[in-house]
Structure 1
């Protein structure tokens, strides 16, 4: 009697590189460790690029205060800050400060950069969260509808809509939304994160998080919550529609591919309705590509936040970045860019973790 060991289908059908990785001990732990370690060189490269690019026009003191201070006072400020030392020595000292969480002080308003990042970072986080919710709420259902009505009228309209969402500049979308919903219809506020009274009430709370809608809910202040929500609608739409266009096309393309799989055809042959096929059988596999590109979209959202916050006077990191660039305050600009780089790198790592847990193929 010949004994045999049944080989699991997934192992039998695994490509040679996958099988080799498994036999070599590759797996989730190794994959996540490598992805985590890649955060550090990524951030280091970005920090280095920003540092030296900021020095192309000279030292930060001269760039920010040149022409506004007498020459002797300017030289004293430069010497006090250490910007007259060799550039490599400045770079090494700056890296040491960054790794200890010390980003220095802003030149234009003499604030600790870490305090500035903490104050305005929560506003940008709130805008990014609102925009992601808008992108998911619009992009995924419309992508499912486009796949369900493939090559028909609704599909063609939605594909054009996705292109318009993605191609429209954020500042133009923001100005258009303000013109329609604030100026013509008068439904929503024009600028800001909340009305003055609401801001005073929320900032006066004990240990506020800085995310206005969360603080309003924690304090049970429903009028403040609705006021914050009204102010958040247009900025979130202006920035969220950009990503919604990407999600719409991704969901449509991958859902169409999933609907052609054998298990879906088998369900169709058993008489399962087309809508149920989309909603129950093909929906989840089609979401995997969205998860994998979420990190890139976070970077896109943070880049768009500069224009969105400036358009709506949403006082977050993007708004402050524009102000500090105008003032040529390169110390503040360096701090903001470094923080954004860390956020993007960490977000990409989290996305990789989620993608690896959902789809084992990415581990190899």
Structure 2
């Protein structure tokens, strides 16, 4: 008599039922883990913003009440006290803090003292200009940093690699306002190729206003006019500010791309492909590039904060009237209510941008653990 025995799979207790393996089980588990990961990342936005809001509030109040800081010396003592009482700055600091948080929750970021306009209105009026400049700068950074980084990685430890690495360090280390002044001196004053400042010439602005598009993004408004000369005028004014701000971030991308591509080129699966006779160009394009792209996507989110902070100096240097330019004007006027509101709004934008970048990185790179 022959007895047949069947082996029990490892990790399965005999006598207990096992769940049937379905083709979609693994993907559903991964999707659930991804959802938990994204939920946690989203919830982390709120404590981050709360800490920043509290820090900004304390720093602004450490200078005294905003009314005295902005209007002291221009109003009499009685007028100042009347304005302070009307704004509620004579109440206990904790009461002011609670009211401030309550107003933020309802979308009220305060009213500027110097211009008596809601901060949200200022953002809607000038935010498009900053957004447009940040887009141009990011485009320059990607077009410069990524191709040059790949070239440096492909020619590692050669003369081209050394030159590009030095160029990346110089681009990152150069203050953005100095780069802006130097670009204006060379291309506007000496060569006369590009405008010195502004977002568009007077004639182009009149044409945009007459057309009535009103998006605030001059390139879109110029395209809506249907006049190529207006579009060309807007693009000419954007070149130098975009270069001044974009080359700074481009230097970071160059070094980051080089480091990550070199790292992936030395991994086991790339070495295995190389041993099968795959040429270096194909290795770089098909095997090393995508894994090296994930850290770059993550850093793009971090560089949004750098672009916004750099926009303050860039917009001032080129009289590009966006939020950065307005922030400087509010600082000069000691309008700390406006400064506080703009800083908080920019922090919210940066936090949301970082969350979006985390989502993209999680979807692109399957190695990210949820």
Work out whether 1:362 is the aligned partner of 2:354: no
CA contact (8 A) 2:213 2:221 kept: no
**CA–CA separation in structure 1 for the residues paired with 2:120 and 2:29:** 47
1:282-306 per-position Cα deviation (integer Å, ceiling 9, x unaligned): 2222111101112211111111111
CA contact (8 A) 2:140 2:243 kept: yes
**CA–CA separation in structure 1 for the residues paired with 2:131 and 2:149:** 26
Which stretch shifts more, 116-125 or 264-273? Answer: 264-273
Q: Which structure 2 segments of 5+ residues have no match?
A: 1-5, 11-27
Pairs within 5 Å for 1:84-163: 84-163=90-169
How far 1:203 sits from its partner (Å)?
3.6
**CA–CA separation in structure 2 for the residues paired with 1:113 and 1:128:** 20
Work out whether 1:287 is the aligned partner of 2:296: no
Work out whether 1:309 is the aligned partner of 2:315: yes
Change (3 A) 1:44 1:290: same
Work out whether 1:238 is the aligned partner of 2:238: no
Pairs within 5 Å for 1:270-285: 270-285=276-291
How far 1:26 sits from its partner (Å)?
6.8
Q: Give the TM-score of the pair, scaled to structure 1.
A: 0.91
Q: Secondary structure at the match of 2:193?
A: coil
Paired residues in the alignment total: 349
Q: Secondary structure at the match of 2:112?
A: coil
**CA–CA separation in structure 2 for the residues paired with 1:70 and 1:2:** 94
Work out whether 1:77 is the aligned partner of 2:92: no
| One of 39, 43, 50 as aligned partner of 1:37 | 43
- Residue 66 of structure 2 is matched in structure 1 by 60
How far 1:52 sits from its partner (Å)?
1.4
**CA–CA separation in structure 1 for the residues paired with 2:281 and 2:85:** 70
Q: Secondary structure at the match of 2:367?
A: helix
Pairs within 5 Å for 1:236-275: 236-275=242-281
Change (3 A) 1:205 1:103: farther
Pairs within 5 Å for 1:18-29: 27-29=33-35
**CA–CA separation in structure 1 for the residues paired with 2:359 and 2:274:** 33
- Residue 183 of structure 2 is matched in structure 1 by 177
Work out whether 1:199 is the aligned partner of 2:205: yes
**CA–CA separation in structure 1 for the residues paired with 2:211 and 2:104:** 31
**CA–CA separation in structure 2 for the residues paired with 1:314 and 1:31:** 39
**CA–CA separation in structure 1 for the residues paired with 2:78 and 2:203:** 46
- Residue 21 of structure 2 is matched in structure 1 by none
**CA–CA separation in structure 2 for the residues paired with 1:216 and 1:268:** 51
Change (3 A) 1:341 1:204: farther
**CA–CA separation in structure 2 for the residues paired with 1:219 and 1:279:** 41
- Residue 167 of structure 1 is matched in structure 2 by 173
How far 1:25 sits from its partner (Å)?
10
Q: Which structure 1 segments of 5+ residues have no match?
A: 6-21
- Residue 19 of structure 1 is matched in structure 2 by none
**CA–CA separation in structure 2 for the residues paired with 1:206 and 1:199:** 11
